Chain A
Amino acid sequence: MIRFLLLFSRQGKLRLQKWFTAYTDREKKKVIRDMIMLVLARQPRSCNFIQWRDLKIVYKRYASLYFCAGLEASDNELLSLEVLHRYVELLDRYFGNVCELDIIFNFEKAYFILDEFLMGGEVLETSKTAVAASMQETDTLQETMEEYMSKPAY
């Protein structure tokens, strides 16, 4: 299973954090610090896998954002690259040419999309269209006209 998924910028600013295991706040902060340090220190054309403690860290850079996942020993690293890629595709489909700013200003949507794709550290839905359809329907459930027009009340 994926233990955690982090998105952060080249300046080390956290844009999303999803924890699939129960870490304390202190542990979370440590993990975030370590991940940012490890990943940002990597040479440009290095391989995307790092061994860290007992976990396999998989990271991939998309434009200005790093997507970083912590995997267990039994997980398939090459496939997890596909998982990260799929998530980016889903974001892209939802936001239309997604960029970091979309994720900054609509972080809650990024989480909602993630929650339709992964759950408990495992892939929940393998079909892109199914995830997109769920997002569409849940968005319409949001009550006011404003929200329906993608101008949320919050």
Chain B
Amino acid sequence: MFANLFSFLCVFQRMPAPIRLRELIRTIRTARTQAEEREMIQKECAAIRSSFREEDNTYRCRNVAKLLYMHMLGYPAHFGQLECLKLIASQKFTDKRIGYLGAMLLLDERQDVHLLMTNCIKNDLNHSTQYVQGLALCTLGCMGSSEMCRDLAGEVEKLLKTSNSYLRKKAALCAVHVIRKVPELMEMFLPATKNLLSEKNHGVLHTSVVLLTEMCERSPDMLAHFRKLVPQLVRILKNLIMSGYSPEHDVSGISDPFLQVRILRLLRILGKSDDDSSEAMNDILAQVATNTETSKNVGNAILYETVLTIMDIKSESGLRVLAINILGRFLLNNDKNIRYVALTSLLKTVQTDHNAVQRHRSTIVDCLKDLDVSIKRRAMELSFALVNGNNIRGMMKELLYFLDSCDPEFKADCASGVFLAAEKYAPSKRWHIDTIMRVLTTAGSYVRDDSVPNLIQLITNSVEMHAYTVQRLYKALLDDISQQPLVQVASWCIGEYGDLLVSGQCEEEEPIQVTEDEVLDVLEGLLVSNLSTPVTRGYSLTAIMKLSTRFSSVNRIKKVVSIYGSSIDVELQQRAVEYNALFKKYDHMRPALLERMPIMEKTSSNGPTEIVQTNGETEPSIVEPKHPPPVTQPANQANDLLDLLGGNDVVPVIQTTMPSKPASAGGELLDLLGDLSLSGGPPPAPAPSVPTSQPSFLLDGLSSQPLFNDIAAAAIPPMIAYNKNGLKIDFTFERANPNPNIAVITIHASNSTDADMTEFVFQAAVPKTFQLQLLSPSSNVVPALNQGTVTQVIRVLNPQKQQLRMRIKLTYTLKGSPVQDLSEVNNFPPQSWQ
């Protein structure tokens, strides 16, 4: 009885055995709600925690396994991390197995506990049972940290040399992981690679090829060293293809496709840029390409890899054509995956083998109509890559049709692509404008913001199409004012060419009859419409203003402008106030200011990035050379006012001169400059009139001068343009890329007197045959004692390559007294204008 009582008590004190894993899984799956499941999990976790606390060896394995299941459901399991380590250290295989699994799932290298595994792994790498060694290799090879890899690389290297193929293959992939984590350790594995390829075992062969590939990809020396393996690799591949049926490695009639593909990939790396190796693999590639069974995915996987290899190495042209034709056949395959892969590969080769890919153009274009989204995207990218001067009309028809019908996710990219292609290959200006119109009207809301300034530039430069363009845009506005890019471009054009619109001058198509009032109605409608964004409103207000010099209904325009002088939108208000001032105080300048925009020159260096941020909105920045009659920067700065360039204060960059009457007949510099008053400036704006250190966002292409300076400055020597009374002005030069007719001159003004030169203004004028543009200066204070320089950029367009001459005017205040000086600069180095 005593014994019974005792054992009874003993039983009572022991916790009941933790429930089995499968039991837990079954129980949890019966939970009908998330809350119920959570409750079960919490209960079990509590039980597991107390079991862990008891340091129970028997059930640790079971508890960790359950923890791993709950972890997969998304519940925290970190309190089991140390338990995994204990399992790994156990002698029982069952424990180790679950312990290592737990380590791989719970113990990534970010955990501190991770390193504690190192010793266990090291011991297990030397275990007497290969499967324990295998567990250790697997864990190390999947998630070993750099430290662990460093510590254990030696053991891995040892195992790489073993004759046990089970261990050898695992060691090979473990080595791959070590190299990925600690590339410097690559060298130590080199000796062990010596006879890896002589193995018969496919597992070892495959992993060896992976290891060799990794080494060759990472080190050109290794690559050179392993090139000698090409014949051996070719032989192995040949055996695989020629050998009879091998049940162990067969996949749908093909022997070990995994190994074949990896060998092909390694051959690709070895043959790239090497004639001899490429030649050595030529035959086998041709053989694989022609003999592989293509009815199943597995055969096509091998063909795909073969094609990639052929295209990458120095293969003979016959082989390349064969490869492209295979891709062409892929395009016609019923299997979507194969079509997708073909399009992807063709995209890679379209640059190098353009003509060959062109032959498949119609098939590619057909893929635009495929139902599969991935295929459509690839087909679109490839189609754009294939557009050239010969096929532009046909291709554009297809692409525009695609644009009409495609999913919204494609529209932005497609529209951009169309614009780019049209810009490059447009067969005529009319076609170009029509294409743009088509995009704007069908996908107008998806067009990127930066397209607007680009389109404006394009339209401006198509002088003969102005009437046609404005008419079409006007008609489009009548239909729909919801698509902002369209509305913005249209407003801008109407502002510019409204006179052509009402005069009915269109040649290309039937001119429409429209009155000034109707046009103003439309523009005013934009101002009040809920559909218009603030940016659009800005465009329409400016457009209305411009029409004041083109239309006769000036009073109406005056009224609109004055109304918006009290708009709550600060941007609109500012514009309106300034335009109002134009009407009142500066009415004599209005015609000049609102003149037709000159031809804009393309700066392809920065293309779409010429955006100026103003109050968080983007507006077009316009790079313009001087207006042909030599009203130099006045016109520029004035137009700047109207186009609302400039920084956050909407103050135009009228640093240099004030606009006056347009072109004086003589065109000689002095008169022009003499007439101008420098007192400060532009119509009042709620900001200081002379902006200091105005960053020149506008012309980013030029602001990248520092780069240019390094590259090109050496070509053209700098010069001293002016040196008097302590003020020295140096000119440095570079050529504007890509237009060699433009010289970019940077002035550097320095002051050797003992007082600062304030209100420093630099102006320049050039003879008639040149065009000049002056950008904003870095500041208007030249610090004393050469403590700093003021820099400013001048761009001179010199299409006739005449000798460059320049007249400069300098004004500044020194110690309270104003100073003014005029000077001629004639000593330009010949390289700056030749």
Residues of chain B within 8 A (CB-CB) of A22 are 108-110, 143, 145
Of the candidates A104, A119, A143, which one forms a contact with B174 in the assembled complex, judged by CB atoms under 8 Å apart? A119
Interface positions, chain B 61-84, Cβ under 8 Å from A, are 61-62, 65-66, 68-69, 72-74
Nearest CB on B from A5, distance (A): 11
Contact B341 A124 (CB under 8 A): no
Are A119 and B65 CB-contacts (below 8 A) given A47-B375, A76-B305?
no
State whether the Cβ of A48 lies closer than 8 Å to any Cβ in chain B: yes
Interface positions, chain A 114-154, Cβ under 8 Å from B, are 115, 119-120, 122-130, 134, 137-138, 141-144, 147, 152-154
Interface positions, chain B 91-148, Cβ under 8 Å from A, are 92-94, 97-98, 101, 105, 108-110, 129, 131, 134, 137-138, 141-143, 145
Contact A154 B249 (CB under 8 A): no
Contact B169 A125 (CB under 8 A): yes
Q: Which residue of B lies closest to A81 (CB)?
A: B297
State whether the Cβ of A62 lies closer than 8 Å to any Cβ in chain B: no
Residue from A125, A142, A143 with most neighbouring chain B CB atoms (10 Å):
A125
Are A138 and B256 CB-contacts (below 8 A) given A120-B177, A124-B169?
no
Q: Which residue of A lies closest to B178 (CB)?
A: A120
Q: Which residue of B lies closest to A20 (CB)?
A: B142
> Contact flags (1/0) for B245-258 with A, using CB distance below 8 Å?
00111010000111
Contact A76 B94 (CB under 8 A): no
Residue from A15, A46, A76 with most neighbouring chain B CB atoms (10 Å):
A76
State whether the Cβ of A55 lies closer than 8 Å to any Cβ in chain B: no
State whether the Cβ of B626 lies closer than 8 Å to any Cβ in chain A: no
Q: Which residue of B lies closest to A82 (CB)?
A: B298
Contact A153 B62 (CB under 8 A): yes
State whether the Cβ of B202 lies closer than 8 Å to any Cβ in chain A: yes
Q: Which residue of A lies closest to B110 (CB)?
A: A24
State whether the Cβ of B206 lies closer than 8 Å to any Cβ in chain A: yes
Q: Which residue of B lies closest to A13 (CB)?
A: B73
Interface residues of B, CB < 8 Å — how many?
77
Are A78 and B93 CB-contacts (below 8 A) given A46-B336, A127-B203?
no
> Contact flags (1/0) for B164-197 with A, using CB distance below 8 Å?
0010011001101100100000000000000000
Are A17 and B72 CB-contacts (below 8 A) given A81-B337, A142-B97, A153-B61?
yes
Contact A143 B202 (CB under 8 A): no
Interface positions, chain B 302-316, Cβ under 8 Å from A, are 302, 304-305
Nearest CB on B from A45, distance (A): 7
Residues of chain B within 8 A (CB-CB) of A25 are 108
Contact B97 A107 (CB under 8 A): no
Are A122 and B249 CB-contacts (below 8 A) given A108-B101, A142-B97, A153-B62?
no
Residue from B145, B202, B207 with most neighbouring chain A CB atoms (10 Å):
B207
Residues of chain B within 8 A (CB-CB) of A141 are 93, 129, 131
Q: How far is the CA of A119 from the CA of B25 in the complex (A)?
A: 28
Nearest CB on A from B128, distance (A): 12
Contact A154 B259 (CB under 8 A): no
Q: How far is the CA of A152 from the CA of B174 in the complex (A)?
A: 29
State whether the Cβ of A83 lies closer than 8 Å to any Cβ in chain B: yes
Q: How far is the CA of A14 from the CA of B73 in the complex (A)?
A: 7
Are A126 and B98 CB-contacts (below 8 A) given A78-B338, A82-B297?
no
Q: Which residue of B lies closest to A112 (CB)?
A: B97
Contact B341 A143 (CB under 8 A): no
Contact B93 A143 (CB under 8 A): yes
State whether the Cβ of B261 lies closer than 8 Å to any Cβ in chain A: yes
Q: How far is the CA of A98 from the CA of B109 in the complex (A)?
A: 33
Are A76 and B131 CB-contacts (below 8 A) given A47-B372, A119-B138?
no
Nearest CB on A from B226, distance (A): 18
State whether the Cβ of A64 lies closer than 8 Å to any Cβ in chain B: no
> Contact flags (1/0) for A74-89 with B, using CB distance below 8 Å?
1011110111001000
Nearest CB on B from A128, distance (A): 7
Q: How far is the CA of A76 from the CA of B305 in the complex (A)?
A: 7
Contact A78 B256 (CB under 8 A): no
Of the candidates A49, A104, A120, which one forms a contact with B340 in the assembled complex, judged by CB atoms under 8 Å apart? A49
Are A82 and B61 CB-contacts (below 8 A) given A15-B72, A76-B301, A119-B141?
no
State whether the Cβ of B581 lies closer than 8 Å to any Cβ in chain A: no
Contact B170 A111 (CB under 8 A): no
How many residue pairs between the two chains, A and B, have CB atoms under 8 Å in the bound complex? Answer: 177
> Contact flags (1/0) for A57-94 with B, using CB distance below 8 Å?
00000000000000000101111011100100000000
State whether the Cβ of B448 lies closer than 8 Å to any Cβ in chain A: no
Q: Which residue of B lies closest to A138 (CB)?
A: B131
Contact A45 B336 (CB under 8 A): yes
Q: How far is the CA of A122 from the CA of B142 in the complex (A)?
A: 10
Q: How far is the CA of A43 from the CA of B376 in the complex (A)?
A: 14
Of the candidates B20, B105, B265, B374, which one forms a contact with A46 in the assembled complex, judged by CB atoms under 8 Å apart? B374
Of the candidates A104, A115, A154, which one forms a contact with B138 in the assembled complex, judged by CB atoms under 8 Å apart? A115
Are A47 and B173 CB-contacts (below 8 A) given A22-B143, A79-B261, A108-B68?
no
State whether the Cβ of B493 lies closer than 8 Å to any Cβ in chain A: no
Contact B336 A79 (CB under 8 A): no
State whether the Cβ of B368 lies closer than 8 Å to any Cβ in chain A: no
Nearest CB on A from B318, distance (A): 24
Contact B62 A154 (CB under 8 A): yes
Of the candidates B69, B138, B301, which one forms a contact with A81 in the assembled complex, judged by CB atoms under 8 Å apart? B301
State whether the Cβ of B537 lies closer than 8 Å to any Cβ in chain A: no
Are A120 and B258 CB-contacts (below 8 A) given A81-B297, A82-B301, A130-B248?
no
Q: Which residue of B lies closest to A74 (CB)?
A: B265
State whether the Cβ of B210 lies closer than 8 Å to any Cβ in chain A: yes
> Contact flags (1/0) for A7-41 with B, using CB distance below 8 Å?
00000001111011011110000000000000000
Contact B373 A46 (CB under 8 A): yes
Nearest CB on A from B332, distance (A): 15
State whether the Cβ of B329 lies closer than 8 Å to any Cβ in chain A: no
Q: How far is the CA of A138 from the CA of B496 in the complex (A)?
A: 83
Contact A83 B248 (CB under 8 A): no
Q: How far is the CA of A134 from the CA of B201 in the complex (A)?
A: 15
State whether the Cβ of A99 lies closer than 8 Å to any Cβ in chain B: no
Q: How far is the CA of A108 from the CA of B99 in the complex (A)?
A: 11
Contact B173 A154 (CB under 8 A): no
Are A105 and B22 CB-contacts (below 8 A) given A49-B340, A124-B169?
yes
Interface positions, chain B 279-306, Cβ under 8 Å from A, are 297-298, 300-302, 304-305
Of the candidates B131, B261, B340, which one forms a contact with A47 in the assembled complex, judged by CB atoms under 8 Å apart? B340
Nearest CB on A from B243, distance (A): 14
Q: How far is the CA of A4 from the CA of B29 in the complex (A)?
A: 26
Q: How far is the CA of A108 from the CA of B71 in the complex (A)?
A: 13
Contact B374 A51 (CB under 8 A): yes
Q: Which residue of B lies closest to A128 (CB)?
A: B248
A selection of 7 A-B contacts at a CB cut-off of 8 Å is A47-B336, A79-B305, A108-B101, A127-B202, A127-B248, A130-B203, A152-B94
Q: Which residues of A approach B to under 8 Å, CB–CB? A: 14-17, 19-20, 22-25, 43, 45-51, 74, 76-79, 81-83, 86, 104-105, 107-108, 111-112, 115, 119-120, 122-130, 134, 137-138, 141-144, 147, 152-154
Q: Which 8 A-B pairs have the closest CB atoms?
A: A78-B301, A154-B62, A47-B336, A79-B301, A125-B203, A141-B93, A120-B177, A119-B173
